[in-house]
Amino acid sequence: MIEVEKKVSITNEDDLARLIQGAQFLREVVNDDVLYDSEIFDLTINGLWLRTRGGVWELKVPIQQKGSRLATQYDELEDENAIRNTLHLLTEGSMADAVAKAGYVPFAKYKTTRQKYSLGDFHIDIDLTDFGQSTFAIGEIELMVNDA
């Protein structure tokens, strides 16, 4: 199974209403995220996203494909040992210590309120992100399909 996802910009209440029209509200989740990188952003430049979400470490690693890509695909690592291996971090000590010793520091902190909906086989996520001085809203329409 693979996830097919389309992101949709939400600029006003009408956009939101159209996106969730007829959908069933499932739940709301609030996440506190912190993104980490080096001073020269070598992770981000290479498409890697290291974060803590609610205190849990996660790493998004792009899946390399030959030829042109119509979409970006990521492998999402949540196992600390897998993250350490991928980033060549120290294996002893806490994850926070290993990240700091590798030179990775927080560069963004934000809170995202995710509202989850379903509409038939489709899942709709509405992310309302608060950066402190600004906010951002985006919708994601997702469908799980069999591998091609």
Q: What is the pLDDT of residue 133?
A: 87
Contacts of 52 (CB under 8 A, 6+ apart): 33, 34, 36, 58
Classified as helix, coil or strand, 86 is helix
Indicate the pLDDT class of residue 35, thresholds 50, 70 and 90: very high
Q: What is the pLDDT of residue 32?
A: 94
Classified as helix, coil or strand, 125 is strand
pTM score, whole prediction: 0.75
Q: What is the mean pLDDT of residues 18-40?
A: 96
- Contact (CB, 8 A) for 78 and 93: no
Q: What percent of the chain has pLDDT over 90?
A: 80
Q: What is the mean pLDDT of residues 16-32?
A: 96
CA torsion, ordered 33, 59, 49, 92, to nearest 10 deg? 90
Q: What is the pLDDT of residue 66?
A: 53
Q: Tokens 């309302």 — which residue? A: 128
